[in-house]
A and B are shown apart, each in its own frame.
Chain A
């Protein structure tokens, strides 16, 4: 082939190659905007919405000081926080039910809850007069029992607890002792049952469940500012960020670690004092556990051990093909900070969506094996 012929080949080849290149790049990258990069925001401080929320909850009016010469003790102005147990070694976890329900995770969970068309929910509403999706604001799990806050003005206490022994406990509060419960069924019949928990109500805003009436009364007393001071509040008002937060006793946490991590659990019990938890579901589900202790060196070592354990667990999950677990532990990290360290864990919302995708399918389909 002469030079002129070769030139034609090169030029034709060039045009063809550019066309193929454009096609390949177009197909390879696509022309859609890529989704924003996942960025997990870990709950680390009060945000604007948290401050607003806390502000609205300052409904408890401090009683007038009886002794003018003594300064009144500092108390949370949120009655629910006031009702929390106090002192070291105690546990209280607050679930912001309303915020959680309106979070992306809540939407997913609601889909699962409503798979039967909301039949069970309607039944519960009809029986109790309370719509959990509308009336429930917070749910607190403590080592003393359960506290629910919200609007319980429509609750049918009389129908549900009317047969129990009850008594007023201060202004607006009433305590029901454990006893029989009768539930009116939609067909007109009645179902009877036994409930071993004592129940307390407070101004149609709180519902307290405890093992016995005394525990319930203690909680109600704290709510009204009558309780004996046992130390600082377990949860400061400035720690009420996230959709779930609270303080876990290390003993409780050690139990959660399971027998496989017995050594780590023991070290946790030996070194740490308590753990403050915050869970954020406003986007991806992110959790921060602030583990506090006294000895800086021991806490740093514990943090390293915990980081190593998480890393090992991640590698194990990867090796076993457990992608969900590996993904969960992908964001796991420990941030040492002197006598405390923060443990961060997160699950991308997309992973949860994938896991809960079966909830969106018609009823009858079975959930995947965990």
Chain B
């Protein structure tokens, strides 16, 4: 088996033993189950005629199911995107520092692996975890609303996929940070900084207008040109989830750009780790 996948399995096995990740999955299941059990949707000829949550009417208008579910899927997409990235930053911050800790890294490096296998395996493991969590959350939501309304859409799942690409860029930076400093806190901090930078980069045109022309604005434009445009991706994810027309000119290009940024960050990590004495 490719060592990258063995390391990924190693990371996943470690993750499975973490109580707070298990607690998160249980919590997610409970939320989905609560929504499934407490939400009553009355559908008449494809229109959402009435919505009751815990027996209380929560919607006052009747419209097509897909239109009615748009704000819900949109909100869910934003929640999955930003909530997922935030949770991922916190939950996955110590995987890489843990793997690079004394007593473990020497053992791993003495095995017949390339150094980049370790980082790539950690990345793949964490991303598998992220994709699994996203599919579980978005899929559960799609399933609940699909069963209750008869309206089936891949939107939330696709939006979840976009969220995973966004997280890939963030985690690549966190992983690279771990090769520089073996600290979960600093890895988290790097992830947060990139998330904020990514949000700004998505709105760079709007933000740039409010900056005074000159060095400040030029610097801002230059930095945000390279940063992954996470907020733009989030908007695209929400558009996809709610089946509304896409705002970015080409979501595919944007998505590719964010993914390639992640790979670039990962390559920096490989570069540094390759020359590092552990």
Contact = CB atoms under 8 A, between A and B. Distances in A.
Interface of A: 3-4, 6-7, 10-11, 13-18, 20-34, 37, 303-312, 314-315, 329-337, 344
Given A7-B274, A10-B270, A17-B264, A304 B62 contact: yes
Contacts of B63: 307, 310-311, 332-334
Interface in B233-278: 247-261, 263-265, 267-268, 270-271, 274-275
B255 A28 contact: yes
Contact of A3 (B201, B202, B254, B275): B275
Contacts of A30: 248-249
A335 B61 contact: yes
A10 B267 contact: yes
Contacts of A4: 275
B270 to A, nearest CB: 4
A187 B226 CA distance: 72
B189 interface: no
Contacts of A305: 44-45
A28 B253 contact: yes
A304 B46 CA distance: 10
Interface string B61-81: 111110100000000000000
B256 A24 contact: yes
B106 to A, nearest CB: 17
A18 to B, nearest CB: 4
B275 A24 contact: no
Range class of the B interface residue count = 35 or more
Contact of B202 (A6, A29, A329): A29
Contacts of B49: 303-304, 307-308
Contacts of A7: 271, 274-275
Contact of B60 (A11, A18, A335): A335
A314 B64 contact: yes
24 contacts: A3-B274, A3-B275, A7-B274, A10-B271, A11-B268, A13-B264, A21-B228, A21-B264, A22-B226, A25-B228, A25-B229, A25-B254, A27-B253, A28-B253, A34-B247, A303-B62, A308-B45, A310-B63, A311-B45, A312-B45, A330-B64, A332-B64, A337-B60, A344-B61
Interface of B: 42, 44-50, 60-65, 67, 116, 201-202, 205-206, 225-226, 228-229, 232, 247-261, 263-265, 267-268, 270-271, 274-275
A10 B250 CA distance: 29
A20 B64 contact: no
A31 B205 contact: yes
A307 to B, nearest CB: 3
A361 to B, nearest CB: 26
A257 to B, nearest CB: 15
Contacts of B267: 10-11, 13-14, 17
Contacts of A330: 64, 67
A156 B240 CA distance: 60
B44 A307 contact: yes
A34 B248 CA distance: 8
Contacts of B252: 28
Contacts of B251: 28
Most chain-B CB neighbours within 10 Å: which of A11, A17, A23, A312?
Answer: A17
A290 B48 CA distance: 19
A334 B60 CA distance: 8
Most chain-A CB neighbours within 10 Å: which of B64, B226, B248, B256?
Answer: B64
Contacts of A13: 264, 267
Closest 4 CB pairs of A and B: A308-B45, A28-B253, A307-B62, A24-B257
A82 B116 CA distance: 84
